Structure 1
Amino acid sequence: MFDSATRRELYEFTRGTEKFYYTSGDAEVELNDVVYEQITISRSEIKNSSDLEKDPLEITFARDSKFAQDCLRSALEENVYVKVIKFQHGQQSILWQGRVVSVKPSGASIVLKSETNFTKLGRAGARLKFQRTCCHDLYGNGCRLNKADWGVQTTIKSVTANAIELRDLSFDDNYFRLGMLQSAFGVSVGIESSAGNTVNIIRRLDSLADQITSDADLLAYQTAVLELDQTIATRDALDENDPNYEQDFADAQALVDQKQEAFNIASESVFFVVAYPGCMKSLTACDRFNNTDNHLGFAYMPEDNPSTTRNA
């Protein structure tokens, strides 16, 4: 237990119905049945001035933070609110509170820029723009596509810098362009282009090299899955009215346990990743997802010459 005189800074983020609790200290903090996870997080100086527009707070996460990555991918389509709390001598006091207004990667970090709750009182409300391309974020609330329905699970065959060779992709070239590749450990990176079984990611992700699955390991895994399914089916097909049912079931269960153990061992050498297709946000691209009803772009806005339009 840390000394109560030690000052701890706690961070509470709220996104929709979800809450995330972090601390910048050297150990997690449990307070009122809430555990503040110890992570690498820091902030800029808190300033007090009469010019609210000049009082933002920048909160910096390590690039591998799942929460910060989620904010970066979602482009803040859903409001994210933040509280910075001082905890000392058993007392809590709010140092700063507001909402996140922008997210950007910066070297090995992801920076969340936030504004106070009072800043929005002095500015015009956010408005959608008239533009040719759709203003919704792919898989976001406005887009309404279920991300899980479009993910393609596969394995990595080789990694060469930013070029990732996957297996068994049968899609048109650039089907995954502007999409994302999610690693076996949940870290996502954007896809710049794709052709055949190869996707080119926007930045190098060294951890992918440790998630390569060899052909031999994949075959062993597939064999283990098949054998496990067969032994389970054999066990479940036993006749309960057979006088030898109990012994037969015990023998079958022992074989299932054996195949389950073989499956568990084979699974340790196989790393599944998920590739998600991207969207150019044109009407044609939305049609590929059968999602034109939710397209919020104006594909046929006139050019400088009002009699000319551009195809979507």
Structure 2
Amino acid sequence: MSLFSRHIELYEFGRGSERWRYTSADRAETYDAQQFVAAAIKRGRIGQSSQDARSNLELTVPLTLPLLSVLRPYPPTERITVRWRRIRKSDGVIRGTWNGVLTDCNERQSDMVLTCQSNANAAATNGLRRCWQVLCPFAVFDRDCALNREDFRIDGVLTAATTSTVSSTAFAAKPDGWFQGGYIMWRRGTATEYRFVTAHVGPTLTLLTASPLAAGELVSAYPGCGHSLKVCHEKFNNAPNYGGQHTLPKKNPFGPDPIF
């Protein structure tokens, strides 16, 4: 886009308090007291459709874009917001805007394609419905569970780490399986990263997805919940807040088999 174009396009990516600002113009631009760095960003068509995939925004960016250091080698767990604006240069009037989140990235030989979903489409998905069930439907430490996760936090300095496992002597203080179904958390700058735990044996936790952690880093581990009344009572002493219906009959009362 030349210097004398009537409009410029601005892209702002955000994660927590971090911001990356770019413009597809041929030089840096300042708008609303913010500096937007020139970058070779190619934008796909912005459309409106009842089909989510057709309402996505695709951006083709160079592999040298600083934002990509957050996405590689492993994507972050925190959402990355995306804001696009088309500005008239003569008076700074916004002629077009689009807001969403980054949902996917596809690295190619010389560039990367970022797929972004609009906020409207992200909000249009069906929410979870609570079922009449024996097991508790609450997520541990959420509002309905009412437990304070900090009361169960275990901090540990990693003695070893691979892409799929982390080890610390602090984890061995709890019985095997204590952290299974839970997660670990750590800070990188101003960002917070999470990984879910699928197994716990001794000092070692197995992670659901790969992590960039290394030995010597400090992480916080939080236990998982089996969602049964026994686990709720014995592990967390939280039976009064149990969300399941543990007295439901094991046989379907509306089925052909007699209950008694």
- Provide the TM-score with structure 2 as the length reference: 0.61
Indicate the residue corresponding to 2:218 in structure 1: 272
The yes-or-no answer on 1:142 pairing with 2:168 is no
Q: Which residue of 2 aligns with 1:131?
A: 133
Distance 1:191 1:291, change over 3 A: same
Q: Distance in 1 between matches of 2:103 and 2:122?
A: 23
Q: Is the 8 A contact 1:8 1:88 kept in 2?
A: no
Paired AA for residue 70 in structure 1: E
Match of 1:196 among 191, 196, 202: 202
Quick check: 1:69 aligned with 2:93?
Answer: no
Higher fraction of helix:
1
Assess if the C-alpha contact under 8 Å between 1:9 and 1:86 holds in 2.
no
**Which segments of 5 or more consecutive residues in structure 1 lack a partner in the other structure?**
73-80, 214-270
Kept after mapping to 2: 8 A contact 1:56/1:115:
no
Separation in 2, partners of 1:178, 1:293: 22
- Secondary structure of the residue aligned to 2:159 is strand
In 1, Cα distance between equivalents of 2:231 and 2:57:
35
Structure 2: gaps of 5 or more residues: 60-67, 108-112
Q: Offset of 1:179 from its aligned partner? A: 1.3
Instruction: Within 5 Å, give how 1:18-167 maps onto structure 2.
Output: 23=21, 25=23, 31-32=31-32, 45-49=45-49, 51=50, 56-57=55-56, 63=71, 69-71=77-79, 84-89=84-89, 90-97=92-99, 113-114=117-118, 116=120, 127-160=129-162, 162-167=164-169
Aligned residue-pair number: 228
In 2, the alpha carbon distance for the partners of 1:139 and 1:37 equals 41
Structure-2 separation of matches of 1:64 and 1:91: 35
CA distance in structure 1 between the aligned counterparts of 2:142 and 2:48, rounded to whole angstroms? 35
Aligned to 1:262: none
Match of 1:208 among 204, 210, 213: 213
State the alpha-carbon separation in 2 of the partners of residues 296 and 202 from structure 1: 26
CA, structure 1 residues 119+147, in 2 after alignment: closer, same or farther (shift >3 Å)?
A: closer
RMSD over aligned Cα, in angstroms? 4.9
> Which amino acid is the alignment partner of residue 178 of structure 1?
G
Alignment of 1:169-180 (within 5 A): 169-180=172-183
DSSP 3-state at the match of 1:48 = coil
Shift of 1:173: 0.9
Q: TM-score, normalised by structure 1?
A: 0.53
Judge which range, 104-113 or 89-98, deviates more: 104-113
1:286 corresponds to which residue? 232
Contact 2:135 2:229 in 1 (8 A): yes
Deviation at 1:171, TM superposition (A): 0.8
Q: Aligned-pair distance for 1:3?
A: 5.9
Query: For 2:116 and 2:250, how far apart are their aligned partners in 1?
Result: 37
Secondary structure at the aligned position of 1:70 is classed as: coil
Deviation, structure 1 residue 172: 1.4
The one-letter code matched in structure 1 to 2:120 is: T
